[in-house]
Amino acid sequence: MNTDQKQVVLITGGSSGIGQASAKILAEKGYAIVAAYNSNAEGAEKTKQLVEQAGSECLIVKADVTIKEEVQKLVEETLNAFGQIDILVNNAGAAIKRSSFLDIDEELWEKTYDVNVKSVFLVSQTVLKHMVPRKSGRIINISSVAARIGGPGESIHYASAKGAVNTLTVGLSKEFAAHGILVNGIAPGFILTPFQDKYSTQERIDRILPTIPIGRAGTSEDIAKVVAFLASDSADYMMGEIITVSGGR
């Protein structure tokens, strides 16, 4: 990896939760940050503020990462600003809404796969075209434990999409290892982020908390610390792994 200048991290879904926490902790470790967001401009500005308070540089870019042209614009703006992309964190994702399997319509299924899978495909492919000639890079995909347990709580569509993210992670790791690019993933468990505010009732949260062996829900910072590990030289011999971070649940 390039050590001649500050390494550059592109984070999708960088305006809140895990994306924002990852931007902050990576900035504290000396990385320059590009935070992509779709609608939460206020959150993106907060990310920029946190990064700059940590003493690093931050570019925020509005982009819908399910649209190829906007992804290309995002990568171009990143390269124009910093000249390189050393690490990509594919964090953008959403459950859209909870639904029993028999009530899932095509629109919900396709939208879920667009935001969780198509985004990873488009951004990874575009960034890899830059990483391959440099023979250097890291990709970190944010998946979910839901991929392994099937999405209880009316979220089969989301769980299966994250299963596809896991497959992409392993497949990309094998195809691009020869180019000096390491691809890994993280499967968060029950993490208290704006995601839960949107998709979980308080009753559901109260029901889940006692089932977590470590005794608490996870935080965005818990996941961000693992993102920082995978971005670091400590993970030089890791590829194709999906690291579960769930407090033992």
Contact 90, 139 (CB under 8 A): yes
Asked whether the beta carbons of 93 and 115 are under 8 A apart, the reply is yes
Are 50 and 27 spatial neighbours (Cβ–Cβ below 8 Å)?
A: yes
Q: What's the rounded Cα separation, in Å, for the pair 246 and 249?
A: 6
Alpha-carbon distances, residue 213 vs 74, 80, 106, 232 (angstroms): 40, 46, 37, 28
Annotated catalytic residue: which of 113, 158, 199, 237?
158
Query: For this structure, is 237 an active site residue?
Result: no
Residue with tokens 């396709």: 110
Alpha carbon distances (Å) from 124 to 11, 65, 96: 11, 11, 22
Do the bridges between strand 87-90 and strand 8-11 make them parallel or antiparallel, or are there none, so unpaired? parallel
Positions marked catalytic = 158
